[in-house]
A and B are shown apart, each in its own frame.
Chain A
């Protein structure tokens, strides 16, 4: 039982952090905190992918001469691509020194960029919301919106009465 938990310690941490991030994103009233939660969630995804790429006993993803199938300078085009593809994740290639898969790291670079972009758009929105509403607490914003809606309704009623008169 303990083995089961400890073997997957990384995944437990990921799940825990994801849920914390999700909870913050849903339950916070402060908009910046919601963004922080979202950011935490997205960062945890990076953690997830990177964890996937780690191979037990693996090293940095650099091909050494011994790993090259035909040795010597460069490798010919006849080298099966399947080796490169299969040398990731849980699959083991016939390489002397196994290495961790670099592909998920690369994917997560992209995801980090996406996350940064999202964060910046979100923060820009928060700045504008602060300018327009004067507050960045979601419950206050809702209250202001309801007031505006009621005022608009009242104005529309007034216009209608004036037009009918």
Chain B
């Protein structure tokens, strides 16, 4: 299996899966089978690629040039491999969960749903493995467009409105800012857009003003990273069914955004240029404001999905913060957060979906005491909440620790305070939910009866339980993961010479 074949397989497999789903649309079990088998195959391919990357290789694939100078090229390095593993691995879990949820809720248009999922995963793979900004941009847009029907799935007026805001915000930021930044980079880097170890623009003599403007365009242009003030698409996208929210907020879309921020800061700007860019400080402030403000807003929301949405906005800003800190620990923390938050948030969302299918409840205030009837769900919720808060021995502890270390390394001690405040706020808006559900205060009304006889479908309970266990597992796997990522953040000159396509 040559690297080129594997990369091509990782891209083409989701498309084949989509075609298979379309063909077998009339036979639900076969159709779901295609998704499951295909997603396992994708994970196998991605794991093989990851093993190549950890051995020091950088698998590459060059498809062709659209016009001279704009190439479709792929190059896998540790960051991308991490994102690809997270995306493809959690797709499997999400697929099982979707089967349970969509059938349990008797949703319509399931074929379209699964097809768009597969296309979105293809987009995520493309983003993860992209070798230059042009390819990244193309697959970033593919991701936006393929998830639009998913957000508008329900088809009613609220869903259409939410989907419209989703599309316009993401397209607006990407066409308005990101595309401009791409064109500018091309002009500055001498008609080159490749991701280079050490930073594409590190060699070009760029004035701090230009670098500042370019960084602002990039960070605000990546609307999927949900940095304020372009965050409002996220809560509006909550009109989608919960498997979509789990996909959007853990696996594909938002992670693509923050991953792109990390990749651009490491491979386009490079650590040295990031540290020399004045607007990075401004953006660190914006990220910190996002963290605190989103957490505060989350506390005021009674709708569970809305609360989780704002929590996501805050947690994503961690990754952006890590990228902007541009110290080794900060970058490591941001990257680890991609994986840790994915595991934690997908659990939370899947629990929310299970609760909705079983009881029809969406508000936190109605869920007191529900834990007696749905113990597994709420225990998983509890574990995932601890991970988000950042308490060992759960996955979220490491990113938080690394980010604090990175803040100290960058002499930004006040960021430490922000991270601590954020943890306290996380406790405030997350912990009461499972605790009050499992151990309600005396005198609370008993919760409603199950809407669906038999409670939540088995798959919708098993999936979050699995990912909650993953949160614990990831804590203990920190050493291999950080060793895997370390080569990406070492100073230039100590890296293997990478061949550009």
User: Are chains A and B touching in the complex at the 8 Å CB cutoff?
Assistant: no
A interface with B by C-beta (< 8 Å):
none
